[in-house]
Structure 1
Amino acid sequence: MPIGVIINSFVIIFGGFAGAFLGDKIPERLRVALPLTFGAASMGMGIHLIGEMHMLPPVILSLIIGSAIGELIQLEKGIEWCARKIQSPIEKIFSSKSNIDQEQFMEQFVGIIVLFCASGTGIFGSLNEGMTGDFTILLSKSFLDLFTAAIFATALGYIVVTVAIPQFIIQFSLFLSAGFILPLVNEHLIGDFSALGGIIMLVTGFRICGIKSFPVANMLPGMILVMPISSLWMFIFG
């Protein structure tokens, strides 16, 4: 049973509802300062994961090709389109509106989708639980996700709750496929995979902090490509 996956999704739902319900009751200084802290945490985790890299060329190649694919299929714009479609019904159901303008709303919403769904901790934690039954990695991630969801929901509203859906689908799929994936990879491939996830988390932190709006969602196809490219690179160059 995917206990860690369920807990991780539940805390986003709980944190999103709690943050949206409390809204303006949370002091302004917290609502402004904590997202910056979460952005800094994302950058810190990203730097840590980049340090696990085994080979630089396949990671960079995967990032470039993946970003090109993401741009061509307009992945980020697709996420934004879905967000706009569900934003209005949710605001009508809960009689609430986000506290920020639409452009800033999209900036933060896409950022938290990547932060929740594409973090190296969540991906590896799901694979690890599926293989070993140990859900402590996802449990640790859940503590951070609880407060992250709550704080972002004070600005974005109840729509933050919906992020639990793609996260659950991704993590549950990884949980089910762990038995097939992990025997086929080694620590070098996992290290390159984590490093690419770290790069994406690093630029996600920049985006959340408002430093630079990287198209982080368009980089996500690189996560699918990095292990095959890294494996091919090792086969050719040793």
Structure 2
Amino acid sequence: MALYGTLINVALIVIGSFLGLVFTKIPERYKETVMQGIGLAVMLIGLQMAFVMEHIIIGLLSLLTGAIVGEWLQLESGLDRLGKWVGNKLGSEENDSRVSQGFVTASLIFVIGAMSIIGALDSGLRGDHEVLITKGILDGFVALVLTTTLGLGVILSVFPVLLYQGSIALLATQIEGVLPESTLNGFITELTGVGGLLIVAIGLNLLNITSIRIGNLLPAIIMVGVIYYVYQLFL
């Protein structure tokens, strides 16, 4: 089943989030230090991903055009409003901004990355779910720690994870015979690189070094496909 790996991933995030809600009495200094450690690890993962990019111009143009589209659509504000709305509907006792921050931060960490894309493609193309199950174990641990700090919003990230990875897996079952393998691999490489840069931005925000509006950069993920296609036409 193409969605098996994604469903396991989602289940592990839910388990980790619930454990995080249970262990909320962890001393603040522990949570702060652990979050800093996660921030550093997230930056390392992002850098490793970013360095696989083969064509810097594709990454640059993707980020520039993605930022313009994101600012025009005001995606960051929209995600913030969505998080607050969900928090109100669930009757959360937490501050709405924490629900929003938890939802946005967890969604970006769990969705953007090589493992999401490659794992979902493996599930759809080859029926191999090992990558997504491994990712689920990592996500579950991160969800536990994030939930102790950011609260209920973290568990809501399962919806974009299910939609994103599930869509890729189902689409992959249909495109195997349509796109040449070299083209597909090239696209994944550039997408991984751009996603890695966004992951680095997440790490910087987690460390409170910057306040990058990552939500407004998300269209860069889509623009990679457009720009890579145009780039291939002129090769």
Q: TM-score, normalised by structure 2?
A: 0.90
Q: Equivalents in 1 of 2:102, 2:211: separation in Å?
A: 10
| Amino acid aligned to 2:161 | Q
CA distance in 2: counterparts of 1:67 and 1:29, whole angstroms: 35
The question of 1:125 aligning with 2:126 is answered no
Q: Is the 8 A contact 1:193 1:226 kept in 2?
A: yes
Q: Which amino acid aligns with 1:62?
A: S
**1:209-224 paired onto structure 2 within 5 Å:** 209-224=207-222
Alignment of 1:1-238 (within 5 A): 1=1, 2-24=3-25, 26-92=26-92, 96-97=93-94, 106-181=100-175, 183-184=178-179, 185-236=183-234, 238=235
Contact 2:83 2:99 (8 Å CA) reproduced = no
Is the contact made by 2:53 and 2:193 (CA closer than 8 Å) also made in structure 1?
Answer: yes
Query: Structure 1 157/90 Cα, relative in aligned 2: closer, same or farther at 3 Å?
Result: farther
Distance apart, 1:119 and its partner CA: 2.2
- Shift in Å at residue 107 of structure 1? 4.4
Amino acid at match of 1:13: V
Alpha-carbon spacing, 1:56–1:181, altered in 2? closer, same or farther (3 Å): farther
Q: CA deviation at 1:147?
A: 1.4
Cα deviation 1:201-232 (Å, max 9, x = unaligned): 11111111111011111111111121231132
**Matched residue of 1:210: which SS?**
coil
- The Cα offsets for residues 87-133 of structure 1, whole Å up to 9 and x where unpaired, read as 123245xxx435xxx65664454222211122221122111211111
Partner SS for 2:52? coil
Q: Distance in 1 between matches of 2:113 and 2:215?
A: 12
The residue type equivalent to 2:75 in the other structure is: L
SS in 2 for 1:134: coil
Q: CA RMSD in A?
A: 1.9
What CA distance in whole angstroms lies between the structure 2 residues aligned with 1:73 and 1:11?
A: 32
**CA distance in structure 1 between the partners assigned to 2:159 and 2:128 by the alignment:** 22
Post-superposition Cα deviations, 1:27-61, rounded to whole Å, max 9, x if no partner, equal: 33331122222221221111111121121112110
Indicate conservation of the 8 Å contact 1:90/1:158, yes or no.
no
Any runs of at least 4 consecutive aligned residues in structure 1 with deviations exceeding 6 A, and if so which? none
Q: What 5-or-longer segments of structure 2 have no aligned partner?
A: none
**2-structure distance, mates of 1:112, 1:161:** 8
The amino acid across from 2:137 in the alignment is F
Identity of aligned residues (%): 28
8 Å CA contact 2:103, 2:155 repeated in 1: no
Post-superposition Cα deviations, 1:148-198, rounded to whole Å, max 9, x if no partner, equal 111111122223211111111111111100134455233222211110111
Counterpart Cα distance in 2 of 1:229 and 1:45: 24
Contact 1:59/1:192, CA 8 A, preserved across alignment: yes
**One-letter code of the match for 2:216?**
N
What amino acid maps onto 1:200 in structure 2?
A: L
Q: Is the 8 A contact 1:116 1:122 kept in 2?
A: yes
Distance 1:37 1:157 in 2: 18
Contact 1:49 1:120 in 2 (8 A): yes
